[in-house]
Amino acid sequence: MFESLQERLGSILNGLTGRGALSEADVSAALREVRRALLEADVALEVVRSFIEKVREKAVGAAVVKSIKPGQMVVKIVHDELVAMLGEEGKAIDLNAPAPVVIMMVGLQGSGKTTTTGKIAKRLTDRQGKKVLMASLDTRRPAAQEQLRQIGEQVKVATLPIVAGQSPVDIAKRAVQAGRLGGHDVVILDTAGRTHIDEPLMVEMADIRKVSSPHEILLVADALTGQDAVNLARSFDERVGITGLVLTRMDGDGRGGAALSMRAVTGKPVKLIGVGEKMDALEEFHPKRIADRILGMGDIVSLVEKAAETIDAEKAAAMAKKMQSGKFDLNDLADQLRQMQSMGGMGGIMGMMPGMGKMKDQMASAGFDDKMFKQQLAIIGSMTKAERGNPDLLKHSRKKRIAAGSGTDAAAINKLLKMHRQMADMMKAMGGKGKGGGMMRGLM
């Protein structure tokens, strides 16, 4: 159905084979196609614009990993930025408040609000053992309250008895009170929608909010919402104040660009996604999966990831063990330097590893940059095996010999030794916390 970004990028991917850093031209050419792909995935125009500019700033000058083409590198950067912008993984509904915790569901008509209300009630009941009460505040659609009652029967969750002629605000008050008296942990208010946003709807939502003090206000939106997503999310957030988003119909053909649009304008997390009509078709949100889907580029992303990981698992395990024991000698340092060199330098590798920012800074402050690889390897190469295994042996006369052998001087050697000491200390500290293996694996 969609022309994949991969197909579109074809000529760019093949045409550009430059090495080293991404040029302005590489980035611009690739971003033109990324822009089209995002628009086609239903990401709102204003969000696409600011997103592309952000990526452009990041991408120009970024190191290109060996064996990867510039266009692919751009896609990887785009993907990572998308994931970052989509926000946290699986942020749960927050029930951390005195019972009954009120969850208010808002959104347009037909967005899947009532269905999602039932799904969430079922989930909280089945998985968290919560006692839930649901109430429909939709007094405009005659069948709405009855629809929720039937869903309640289906998922075996209590619904507030229907009283004809009550206003939404009165039903909300009654629901909270019934929740309190009935010892319910959670009360979910399924509000009325409209076909479009209008003033009376916003006033009604604000009034309901006032009388029910919801702990969560979830905006339910169809994943196929296109350019309207921004307006929708912004209006609800500004007028009612939302705490999270639920995207429905993620089982459909849509690429889910609305997730990015709505997240971008509200900064609120996507908490759940609806993936079907059945009551258990509700899933946690995984930013990475959605980013893959928006771009339709999962293969390129994993290709780049693999290229960046010329990782020998056994070596990684051995290194982790060494770190834990605090033994990280100059042979190990040389290994790492070589590995980094073969992967296109620090910028490239570090940029692609999540959580490596701090490490990168630490290493940079220890004088560890791409230009020094060669010199440092030359220094280590001029040492004897014994010296590499035990840097403490390196007194003045030995340093003089090594400086001559590597075409450097004592200062360069001292700098290397200092860096090694700092890394060894850092690794020992990390190893001690039991995290060393995981973090360092990416470095080898």
Q: Residues annotated as binding site? A: 107-114, 190-194, 248-251
Residue 279 C-beta: closest distance to ligand GDP, Å: 10
Residue 129 C-beta: closest distance to ligand GDP, Å: 24
Q: Which of 92, 91, 90, 97 is nearest to 215 (CA)?
A: 97
For ligand GDP, the closer CB: 282 or 423:
282
For ligand GDP, the closer CB: 49 or 140:
140
The per-residue b/e assignment along 83-107, b for 16 or more CB within 10 angstroms, e otherwise, is: bebbbeeeeebebeeeebbbbbbbb
The span of 89-97, 113-121, 404-412, 427-435 binding ligand GDP (CB under 6 A) equals 113-121
Backbone angles phi, psi at 99, to 5 degrees: -75, 150
For ligand GDP, the closer CB: 146 or 425:
146
Give the interface size with ligand GDP as a residue count (CB under 6 A): 17
Question: What is the per-residue binding string for ligand GDP in 396-435, x denoting contact by CB under 6 A?
Answer: ----------------------------------------
- Tell which one of 6, 191, 248, 376 touches ligand GDP (CB under 6 A): 248
Q: Under the criterion CB under 6 A, does residue 154 sit at the interface with ligand GDP? A: no
Assess contact for 243 and 267: CB atoms under 8 A. no
Question: What is the per-residue binding string for ligand GDP in 259-298, x denoting contact by CB under 6 A?
Answer: ---------------xxxx---x-----------------
For ligand GDP, the closer CB: 283 or 305:
283
Instruction: Please state, as a whole number, how many other Cβ atoms lie within 10 Å of the Cβ of residue 228.
Output: 17
The H-assigned helical ranges of 95-225 are 113-128, 144-155, 168-181, 199-212
- Tell which one of 40, 207, 251, 283 touches ligand GDP (CB under 6 A): 251
For ligand GDP, the closer CB: 263 or 420:
263
Assess contact for 438 and 431: CB atoms under 8 A. no
**What's CA 38's distance to the chain center, in Å?**
17
Assess contact for 418 and 391: CB atoms under 8 A. no
Q: Under the criterion CB under 6 A, does residue 67 sit at the interface with ligand GDP? A: no
Assess contact for 73 and 62: CB atoms under 8 A. yes
- Applying the rule CB under 6 A, the residues between 189 and 218 that interact with ligand GDP are 193
d(CA 405, CA 399): 10
Which pair of structure tokens corresponds to residue 324?
Answer: 């834990």
How far apart, in Å, do the first and last CA atoms of the chain sit?
A: 41
d(CA 34, CA 8): 9
User: 365 Cβ partners below 8 Å, 6+ apart?
Assistant: none
For ligand GDP, the closer CB: 73 or 148:
148
Q: Under the criterion CB under 6 A, does residue 170 sit at the interface with ligand GDP? A: no
For ligand GDP, the closer CB: 4 or 109:
109
Identify the three-state secondary structure at position 63: strand
Question: What is the per-residue binding string for ligand GDP in 216-245, x denoting contact by CB under 6 A?
Answer: ------------------------------
Q: Which DSSP helix (H) or strand (E) runs through 306?
A: helix 298-308
- Tell which one of 10, 20, 110, 357 touches ligand GDP (CB under 6 A): 110
Residue 199 C-beta: closest distance to ligand GDP, Å: 20
DSSP conformation class of 341: H
What's the sign of the alpha-carbon dihedral 43, 47, 51, 52? positive
The span of 103-111, 179-187, 225-233, 432-440 binding ligand GDP (CB under 6 A) equals 103-111
Q: For ligand GDP, which residue has the nearest CB?
A: 274
* Interface residues toward ligand GDP, by CB under 6 A: 107, 109-115, 193, 248-249, 251, 274-277, 281
